[in-house]
Structure formats: C-alpha cells, structure tokens
Amino acid sequence: MLNRIGIIVKPNKPDAITLAGELVGWLSQRNIQVYLDETIAPMINHPFSCPRSEISRWIDLLIVLGGDGTLLSAVRAMAGENVPILGVNLGGLGFLTEITLEELYPVLGQILAGKMETEKRMKLSANVLRRGERVGEYSVLNDVVINKSVLARIINLRNSINGAYVTTYRGDGVIISTPTGSTAYSLAAGGPIVFPSMDSILITPICPHTLTNRPLLISDQDTVEITLESEEGDVRLTLDGQIGCDLHPFDQVVVTKAKDYVFFIKSPFKDYFQVLRTKFKWGER
C-alpha cells in the first residue's frame, strides 16, 4: 500500500512546478501524503518538504517531473534506496522519463490500484586512484566518461579488465556505461543499444585514433581499469554528464557494478521497443 509519495521537480521549469501543485492536490484527495523537494515546496505553499538527499527516508514512491537530467540527479539523491521511481517526461528526448504527461494520471491510477510493475536497472561504481590512494568515489546510472578538453591533444588510456591488459585507447577518451546509458553518450560515439534490464558493462572509445578500437561489451562481474598514461593535463572524469573531477597524469579509474540498483516503474501502455521507435523514429522515411 502506497501512503507517502515524493515529488522532485526541475526547479527552473514553470510548467513542471504548476504540474507539481496539481499533482499534490490530486494525490491529497486520495489520502496520499506528499513530500516535496525543499526548493519547490515554498513555490506552491506545500507544508511537507525535505532535502533531496533525505526524501527517500519518508516515501514509498518517487515521482520525477522533468527530463532525463532531473531524473539522473534524483537517482543520485536516492543512492542505496529501493524506492520505485516514476519518471515523467516534460522535456525533449527523454529515454529515462518514459511516461508522457498524458499518461501520468492513468498510470498513477493503476499504481494506486496495486497494478505497478517495476524494472531493475544496474548502476556503476567508479573509484579514482592517485598513487594508490582513493581520491574519489562515485555512483552512476548512465555512464563514466574520461575525455580531453577541446584544446588538449590525443590522450592515451590504458584499459585492463580484471587485471588483464586489453588495449591502449588513443583518441578523445572512453565511455564506460550501463545498458541504461547505452542510449546516451555511448550511442552518439558509435556504441550499440543494450536492452536496459541486462546486467553488463559497455566500453566505447571516443573518436579513437585506431579504427580497429571498437565498443566492447563485458560481464557485469568484471572490473574495468582505465589508466591515464598521458602526461598533459586537461583530462576530465564526468559522471552521468552532471558531476566530475579533473584527472592527473597516471590516475587510475576503476569501474565495477554498484551494489545497489534503481527501480523504474514501467509504463503499462508501451514497451521499451515502442519507446525506441518513438524516440528514433524507426521505420519512418
């Protein structure tokens, strides 16, 4: 039984804030206690609010109103929790926020009637080692990206898997992604689409100097080790396209499957391939 629902909203999107106010009223009429991100609650005079980092402690389900960026930020705040997430797309492409505005209330009606189906998505854990000491630890849903700045030269990235040397990428960088992230930056760099419920890790080089360097799909039980062998600076580690840090020469980025998962509520009106056809306009001339 769902008694408490949280709402996270893209703060600079007025229509999302308006929708949040309407949604609070709709849920309150059905005796659902609603908790809002503390930055949004004052905008609609809602008394129950808490920091994003704490909202998971109070709720049984989370609704995210915005786009994929808003959802990725929400997932980061929910790290380690098994609260199911309903992503509502109010923006552009939106692979993660697959529920449309028109579907929102029908889907919520089914959820409150006990007809909720979730899909488990794996995450990645990335650790940055500098001279053997861990200087950064991150958790991501989409991808871990190592790339050079616009003005930097080609960089050398040594790739090992489970301690065995694979190859050294010479190019603009490399993307290590989950199946969920296979439709993000990795796809633009030439990587394949991987069904999101699979447990696997995808390694995609960015503009490799050697054309034989191709994307590689490996087991989720493997450990990926990327060592920056270039001595010049201007190389950055980016997590889910939102946060990151600068890398120093010979830093090592170690990527493994994270211990926790994300649980997305599936749309009862369409499947993943319908989403792909809609987003990519497959079959259209």
CB-based burial label for 131 (10 Å; 0-12, 13-18, 19+): exposed
Residue matched to tokens 């488990």? 120
Task: Quote the CA–CA distance of 75 and 97 in Å, as a whole number.
Answer: 12
Residue 45 one-letter amino acid: N
Q: Please provide the distance, in angstroms rounded to a whole number, between the alpha carbons at the two ends of the chain.
A: 46
Catalytic, out of 15, 37, 60, 68: 68
Q: Is 143 helix (H, G, I), strand (E, B) or coil?
A: strand
**Closest alpha carbon to 141 in 240, 235, 221:** 240
Asked about 234 being catalytic, the answer comes back as: no
**Closest alpha carbon to 65 in 147, 138, 9, 106:** 9
Backbone angles phi, psi at 179, to 5 degrees: -55, -40
The set of residues, in sequence order, having a beta carbon less than 8 Å from that of 113 and lying 6+ positions away, is none
Task: Quote the CA–CA distance of 177 and 220 in Å, as a whole number.
Answer: 11
Task: Quote the CA–CA distance of 94 and 66 in Å, as a whole number.
Answer: 9
Beta strand 243-247 with 118-130 is unpaired
Task: Quote the CA–CA distance of 276 and 285 in Å, as a whole number.
Answer: 16
Beta strand 164-171 with 155-161 is antiparallel
Catalytic residue ranges: 68
